[in-house]
């Protein structure tokens, strides 16, 4: 579940930048965002990264493209790039995970599915001043157990 959670944390952040076609077209969400661990509520027992930065290069109502740089709690750095359709249908984002994004007004709903029946459903919104994004999510284990969390991101 930690691998799915790590992918979905990043996916939720970046995909939420496309939450409004008008905003995306104006470029307000393009740029860099950093996870604010102090304001986030991670699932119990899950270690947060030392740092997580998302760089958005495209965010519109048809695609979201971004790269992430994650520095793990152990100090290891990982960089991944994603380019996915934003039409509400499920598409693979890795060899084990599929994702679906749906834009509704000023919110983005994202759902991720892993190989063992686990899922992560998120709803992301952006603050009125466009400086912070909040993603509220529910992780569901393969056995049906659920955990709520909140990820908060600041514009860099």
CATH number of the domain that residue 7 is part of: 2.40.128.20
21 pLDDT higher than 70: no
Band of the pLDDT at 23, cuts 50, 70, 90? very low
Torsion sign (Cα): 37, 127, 149, 19: negative
Closest residue by Cα to residue 126 from 10, 47, 14:
14
**pLDDT > 90: what percent of the chain?**
36
- Cβ distance 10 to 70 under 8 Å? yes
More confident position, 102 or 1: 102
Block residue for tokens 């290069």:
57
* Type and span of the H or E element at 24: helix 21-26
The reported pLDDT for the residue numbered 137 is 95
29 pLDDT higher than 90: no
Distance, CA of 3 to CA of 32 (rounded, Å) = 23
Count of the separate structural domains present in the chain: 1
Which residues make Cβ contacts (< 8 Å) with residue 108, sequence separation at least 6? 12, 15, 16, 18, 19, 101, 102, 122, 123, 124
When pLDDT is averaged across residues 6-14 and rounded to a whole number, the result is 50
The reported pLDDT for the residue numbered 68 is 83
Could you tell me the residue range of the domain that residue 63 belongs to?
2-155
Distance, CA of 95 to CA of 152 (rounded, Å) = 27
The reported pLDDT for the residue numbered 105 is 61
Instruction: Give tens-digit pLDDT for 51-87.
Output: 999 887 776 677 777 788 999 989 999 998 878 787 8
């Amino acid at each position: 579940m930690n691998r799915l959670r790590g992918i979905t944390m990043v996916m939720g952040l970046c995909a939420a930048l496309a939450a409004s076609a008008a905003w995306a077209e104006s470029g307000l969400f393009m740029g860099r965002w950093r996870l604010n661990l102090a304001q986030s509520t991670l699932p119990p027992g899950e270690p947060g990264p030392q740092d997580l930065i998302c760089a958005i290069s495209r965010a519109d109502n048809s695609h979201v493209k971004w790269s992430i740089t994650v520095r793990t709690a152990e100090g290891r750095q990982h960089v991944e790039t994603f380019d996915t359709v934003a039409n509400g249908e499920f598409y693979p984002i890795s060899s084990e995970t599929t994702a679906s994004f749906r834009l509704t007004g000023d919110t983005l709903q994202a759902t991720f599915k892993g190989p063992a029946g686990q899922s992560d459903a998120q709803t992301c919104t952006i603050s009125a001043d466009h400086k912070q994004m909040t993603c509220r999510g529910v992780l569901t284990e393969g056995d049906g157990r659920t955990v709520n969390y909140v990820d908060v991101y600041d514009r860099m």
